[in-house]
Structure 1
Amino acid sequence: MTETIQRSARVRASELIGRGWLNTGGKQVTLEDLRGKIVILDFWTFCCINCLHVLDELRPLEERFHDVLVTVGVHSPKFEHEADPDALAAAVERYEIEHPVLDDPELVTWQNYSARAWPTLVVIDPEGYIAASLSGEGHVAGLTSLVEELAAEHEAKGTLHRGDGPYVAPEPVSRTLRFPSKAVPVNRTLGADDDAPGRFLVADTGHHRIVELADDLETVTRSWGTGEKGYGDGGPESAQFNEPQGLALLPEKLAAEVGYDIVVADTVNHRLRGINVATGDVTTLAGNGVQRLLDAERTRSDVVVGSLGTDPLNVSLSSPWDVLWSESIGRVIVAMAGTHQIFSFDPLTGELAVYAGTGLEGLVDGAAGESWFAQTSGLTEDAAGDMWIADSETSSLRVLRVSQSPEAPAVETVVGEGLFDFGFRDGDPAQARLQHPLGVTALPDGSVLVADTYNGAIRRYQAEHLAADGSTVPAQVSTVARGLKEPSDVLLDADGTTLLVVETNAHQLVRIAVPEEYLSVDEGAAQTQRPATAVAPGQVQLSVGFSAPTGQKLDDRWGDPTQLQVSSTPAELLMEGSGTSVGLQRTLQLNPEISAGVLHITARAAACDGAPGEEIPMHAACHLYQQDWGIPVTLEEGGDSELHLDLRGVK
């Protein structure tokens, strides 16, 4: 069934204000310049996996309606690093964005359009009025219908102008690597001509291929993929990937059994791929290419880990970002960034399973089936068998204590505070801060290195340990190197004395000597700075609007199909109203002793194809609608006593 987007009341769109424009040939763009076009404002930030999903969802829409539709990406940053104009320009190139982008570092346009979450989409009609506003992803079908409707309406009125928009393509740049993301050392024989030592497998993400680099880190000795984004199995020169990220090299004996040596996280294709180095063939191991959402039935708090079956090609995945062969459990571990979870994959049986994470975005420790992650992006396994995770959106280093209980590992945070807390601070891990880390590797001495991506640094976590004199050395975080351009992975070189860093925005791999003395950095902690909502201390009524789209009805076969989860930072802000319960309304009691904080709200609703009042057919398609908000608030007398949000964000 097709989603129908309700039209907004006619409200004049606000001017587009920011620091500058990208993809316009250096020209400024105003709403007056866009008059006569249907405009989609895409409020995004380049750290956000949901925003990256929307970029890909919009591409077919932009192609189909190229003469009447203009998409404008409004980049409103979450992290401090994302406000750097050079970092934004690199992201626009990396994600091959082919529409104008407004740089909105002070969130001026974000405020003018009352955006509250990334991503938010606002549709403006050819006369400059807001037609609709939506939060989250998955709206393309409804947007298609709305664009068709607006095009027909305004063509009849004579207010639709067909033709090219303001997009100007940048000049292409030739590079050996383009935004490489992950690397693994070749530590065993791969094919007949494998005498050369010191080789590395690299995800050449911007070229949509996998390459093998020689020890000089410049010579490509072989590659897999055409270099054009797409999806297709086949030989090394015909297979296609779409922004591949993580790589795992299987043990030699296992590889001989299953028929492939390398597992690839093919991120934008939402698949795991396999490469047989001897033949060069690329095959699909798991994923049907359809982006995974949590099952519609799982709208309550009893989401558990477990098997997804042994038919992996019929299972949906969501932006797998890294993969790791785990010796401790004998599986491939997958950082499933799109659903904020950890998956496992058995190459012998094909079984896929959720290994940890409820799918809710945030930082919650505890049992694997109760833990929350936020865009899991990097994996490593230490000598004890524990798995370390770079949890990027919470700027944290997490660990799955597999060694204590492989079947029921517990999740523990060693560095990091929450979704909106970051910084650059060494010392006590409880006070240390990272900024959107993407890579992690365990060292032989038991310490862990982190590619602290948005700080441009390599950091080191060392747990409490005994010194040579028998004294206890407390746990600490230190800085190994800094001044790098978005490092997204780090590993120990074969000689054991140098580090190999994947320096993504410098389009290279570099070696760094391990210093005898680590730096000590304290540039402070920070929180995401967004406009705060003034609310009254005491009782506040929270409500989330949701209506099942046309052709669907709420799925009430298992009770109330809606759910709210509410928490706060600091926790003391909420005196009453925290926790999880069914329904989309909640009475909150805010602590008058707390002057400011952040309300973390997740709303979910399940609907299935069918008409209201009729029984849902047995094989009806069901849909889970979910949105996460982190809303900064200040407590002020005379502030709002009601807070209304839209799950299906129609104004």
Structure 2
Amino acid sequence: MTAPSHTGTESVRTSYKVRASELVGRNWLNTGGKQLSLEDLRGKITILDFWTFCCINCLHVLDELRPLEAKYSDVLVTVGVHSPKFEYEADPVALAAAVERYEIHHPVLDDPELVTWQAYAARAWPTLVVVDPEGYIVAHLSGEGHASGLESLIEELIAEHTEKGTLHRGDGPYVAPPAREGDLRFPGKAVALENGNFLVGDSGHHRIVELGNDLATVVRTFGSGVKGFADGDAETAQFNEPQGLALLPAALAASLGYHVVVADTVNHRLRSINLETGAVGTLAGNGVQRLLDAEQARTAADNVADADAWISDLGNDPLNTSLSSPWDVLWSEKANAVVIAMAGTHQIFSFDPSSLALRVFAGTGLEGLADGKPGESWFAQSSGLAADAQGNIWVADSETSALRRLVLAEDGSVEAVESAIGAGLFDFGFRDGAADQARLQHPLGVAVLPDGSVAIADTYNGAVRRYDPATATVSTLARGLNEPADVQLDDTVDGEPVLLVVETNNHQLVRLPLPAEALVVDEGAAHTHRPKTKVTAGAHELTVRFSAPKGQKLDDRWGDPTQLKISSSPEELLLGGGGTSTGLRRTLELNPEISEGVLHITARAAACDGEPGGEIPDHAACHLYQQDWGIPVILDAEGETELVLDLRGMD
């Protein structure tokens, strides 16, 4: 390992001047049918947003860009370049639905073969590339959290190109599609009520709907239907893409004054609903997306090597604590708490509504699939929760296409995290049989059936799958669905219980019988379609470039404030250079006996408010910058001997 390399550059602009490549793909959306070219964008500042609709970080970036698009509407054009991770995401109909669902108000290029992705050397979702009005690349950024830095760059480009006469003001190429009508719009999760009705997260209408037992009659709604955040009565309260719902035990609800907990996903909050009065309140979350809590940031500033310390207790002030895209919630009798699938930080949280204690229940915050103790486990955008008869909690871990289980101890804490199905971030498919060989594709929901088996809303396969813990086998209960996002056991019907499925892209809830005999399907396993980087075996130099944002400086008071964590799949790919240590350069030793694999890289850097060359003021705010990459590689004698990545601080 060599010494770390930091730049002193304050601008986020690239140090080189390269013409932007043409935008090539299958089709354009949100343009009224027009096929755009780079020439059509000349005279505008253009942000290319390389995204895929499964990715929670990409959804965060969509929201980060909205204020910039509104503020600079006459000079800025955002172009979403959709670069699919999963096979299902390459379906043009599914993409069109996602563009509608997430209210994307800019042109989107459908790039299923990753042609434009490769032309712009994107390596991670999301990636942002800024092109100036003359067609030159001026910034290339990975990850989220870049809004303020982009705003500074846009102001800089406006001034520069106004003076040069190369900035053209006026409307951009976006053309709005027709609005969709209907009682439900992209519903996400549902929960059964004691009266036989169902409460549904009507995410596309930004409200909660009570449906009658016929699954068609709208009994009442909670929320105005206007995207936003507001507490109040059922008519005036506001949500933002609510998803999961949890019904509290009657005695607890009576003592608390509310009955339902709502995962208000894009508001990064937990909300409450009183079913008797219709009142909506806020339980947790300050509306600021959680990246890293203050204690961890300070720890990282003091010694970034200690930033992995697992801090589970987040205190008893939930309204002043940041959350990140809570996707599902579940009341756990054994934990005596609301368990939260915190998709945005790849963790499981818990919330005690009586004591107001908020905790990290399991997960380090690193994205991936790793079992073990709760402070060692890795999740990837967990999106569905269900409890079994023993009180253990099953988790739909969507980005690893996995079914996980939290084994709870007698005191309600997590004893261990286990994986029943799933191989990793880039492995998926439609395969039944032995669980260790079975494959799912981005599951979002789970339910425990009367025999102890687990039903899985296998979302991108359009199916409901079944895992039997007794035999460790997987089968298929139903298929041909349109993005099933949730599944519940419904015993409100006459006769045997049935499956209640939230069919998101058909905007409805449907009942399906539990078949006497499940199907056994094997359409194979697959690996994420991403270009593999050719690398040579042996020594391989890795460099991550980072510059502290303007007004901040690297905090080296206690040594090197940067860190790399590196691992591989399979583990045998790395003979040397793995593990965690300070510095942003590392020499890797790649195994010539392994033909291909994935390098998992996490880079961190700590900076505090203060000017370069000066002292860091007492009580200065400190910031931890982090980016994760999964780089597919294939060993080739003609391959690269160096890998360069960018971690740009733009807080």
The bucket for the TM-score relative to the shorter chain is over 0.9
**Contact 1:177/1:206 (CA < 8 Å) preserved in 2?**
yes
Q: For the residues of structure 2 that align with 1:105 and 1:238, how far apart are their CA atoms?
A: 41
**1:586-616 C-alpha deviation (Å, 9 max, x unpaired):** 2211111112111111111121111234443
Q: For the residues of structure 2 that align with 1:138 and 1:407, how far apart are their CA atoms?
A: 32
Tell me what 1:203 maps to: 201
**1:359-408 C-alpha deviation (Å, 9 max, x unpaired):** 00011100001111010111111110101111110000000100466334
Does 1:157 find its partner at 2:168? Answer: no
Displacement, 1:557?
A: 4.8
SS state at 2:580 partner: strand
- Call closer, same or farther: CA 1:306–1:148 in 2, change over 3 Å: same
**1:435-460 C-alpha deviation (Å, 9 max, x unpaired):** 00000111221111110000000011
Counterparts of residues 352-431 of structure 1 (less than 5 Å): 352-403=358-409, 406-431=412-437
Q: For the residues of structure 2 that align with 1:569 and 1:50, how far apart are their CA atoms?
A: 22
Q: For the residues of structure 2 that align with 1:434 and 1:70, how far apart are their CA atoms?
A: 37
What is the letter of the counterpart of residue 213 of structure 2? D
Q: For the residues of structure 1 that align with 2:509 and 2:453, how far apart are their CA atoms?
A: 22
**Contact 2:124/2:629 (CA < 8 Å) preserved in 1?**
yes
Displacement, 1:302?
A: 3.6
Q: For the residues of structure 1 that align with 2:552 and 2:246, how far apart are their CA atoms?
A: 42
Residue number among 87, 90, 97 corresponding to 1:90 in the alignment: 97
Q: For the residues of structure 2 that align with 1:626 and 1:566, how far apart are their CA atoms?
A: 13
Q: For the residues of structure 1 that align with 2:560 and 2:284, how far apart are their CA atoms?
A: 33
What is the letter of the counterpart of residue 647 of structure 1? L
Which sections of structure 1, spanning at least 5 residues, go unmatched? Answer: 188-196, 465-473
Tell me what 1:38 maps to: 45
SS state at 1:91 partner: helix
Query: What TM-score do you get using the length of structure 2 for normalisation?
Result: 0.95
RMSD across aligned C-alpha pairs, in angstroms?
1.5
What is the letter of the counterpart of residue 17 of structure 1? V
Q: For the residues of structure 2 that align with 1:649 and 1:554, how far apart are their CA atoms?
A: 10
Moved more, 358-367 or 636-645: 636-645
**1:60-110 C-alpha deviation (Å, 9 max, x unpaired):** 000000001000000000000000000000000000000000000000000
Q: For the residues of structure 2 that align with 1:649 and 1:351, how far apart are their CA atoms?
A: 32
Residue number among 217, 222, 229 corresponding to 1:231 in the alignment: 229
SS state at 1:412 partner: strand
What is the letter of the counterpart of residue 475 of structure 1? A
SS state at 1:61 partner: helix
**Contact 1:225/1:240 (CA < 8 Å) preserved in 2?**
yes
Q: For the residues of structure 1 that align with 2:55 and 2:646, how far apart are their CA atoms?
A: 20
Q: For the residues of structure 1 that align with 2:482 and 2:644, how far apart are their CA atoms?
A: 40
Displacement, 1:409?
A: 1.8
What is the letter of the counterpart of residue 586 of structure 2? R
Displacement, 1:6?
A: 2.7
Which sections of structure 2, spanning at least 5 residues, go unmatched? Answer: 1-8
SS state at 2:433 partner: coil
Q: For the residues of structure 2 that align with 1:430 and 1:301, how far apart are their CA atoms?
A: 33
Tell me what 2:240 maps to: 242
Residue number among 459, 473, 476 corresponding to 1:453 in the alignment: 459
After TM superposition, the runs of 4+ consecutive aligned structure 1 residues lying more than 6 A away are: none
Residue number among 239, 252, 256 corresponding to 1:258 in the alignment: 256
Identity of aligned residues (%): 71
**Contact 1:234/1:283 (CA < 8 Å) preserved in 2?**
yes
Tell me what 2:513 maps to: 513
**Contact 1:500/1:511 (CA < 8 Å) preserved in 2?**
yes
Residue number among 282, 289, 292 corresponding to 1:291 in the alignment: 289
Q: For the residues of structure 2 that align with 1:16 and 1:209, how far apart are their CA atoms?
A: 37
Tell me what 1:441 maps to: 447
- Call closer, same or farther: CA 1:59–1:640 in 2, change over 3 Å: same
Q: For the residues of structure 2 that align with 1:150 and 1:614, how far apart are their CA atoms?
A: 29
Q: For the residues of structure 2 that align with 1:343 and 1:327, how far apart are their CA atoms?
A: 15
What is the letter of the counterpart of residue 315 of structure 1? T
Tell me what 1:281 maps to: 279
SS state at 1:234 partner: coil
Query: What TM-score do you get using the length of structure 1 for normalisation?
Result: 0.95
Does 1:67 find its partner at 2:74? Answer: yes
- Call closer, same or farther: CA 1:551–1:630 in 2, change over 3 Å: same
**Contact 1:8/1:130 (CA < 8 Å) preserved in 2?**
no
Does 1:582 find its partner at 2:582? Answer: yes
Q: For the residues of structure 1 that align with 2:308 and 2:140, how far apart are their CA atoms?
A: 32
Residue number among 147, 154, 171 corresponding to 2:154 in the alignment: 147
- Call closer, same or farther: CA 1:305–1:389 in 2, change over 3 Å: farther
Q: For the residues of structure 2 that align with 1:617 and 1:322, how far apart are their CA atoms?
A: 41
Moved more, 503-512 or 153-162: 153-162
- Call closer, same or farther: CA 1:3–1:49 in 2, change over 3 Å: farther
Does 1:216 find its partner at 2:222? Answer: no
Does 1:132 find its partner at 2:129? Answer: no
Does 1:538 find its partner at 2:538? Answer: yes
**Contact 1:3/1:142 (CA < 8 Å) preserved in 2?**
no
What is the letter of the counterpart of residue 219 of structure 1? T
**Contact 1:180/1:204 (CA < 8 Å) preserved in 2?**
yes
Q: For the residues of structure 1 that align with 2:309 and 2:439, how far apart are their CA atoms?
A: 30
Q: For the residues of structure 2 that align with 1:32 and 1:403, how far apart are their CA atoms?
A: 62
Q: For the residues of structure 2 that align with 1:377 and 1:584, how far apart are their CA atoms?
A: 33
Higher RCO structure, 1 or 2 (CA under 8 Å, sep 6+): 2
SS state at 1:160 partner: coil
SS state at 2:434 partner: coil
**1:422-480 C-alpha deviation (Å, 9 max, x unpaired):** 0010010000000000001112211111100000000111112xxxxxxxxx3211100
Tell me what 1:599 maps to: 599
Displacement, 1:351?
A: 1.1
What is the letter of the counterpart of residue 394 of structure 1? T
SS state at 2:406 partner: strand
Tell me what 2:524 maps to: 524
Displacement, 1:117?
A: 0.4
Does 1:13 find its partner at 2:23? Answer: no
Tell me what 1:470 maps to: none
Displacement, 1:4?
A: 4.3
**Contact 2:548/2:649 (CA < 8 Å) preserved in 1?**
no
**Contact 1:448/1:460 (CA < 8 Å) preserved in 2?**
yes
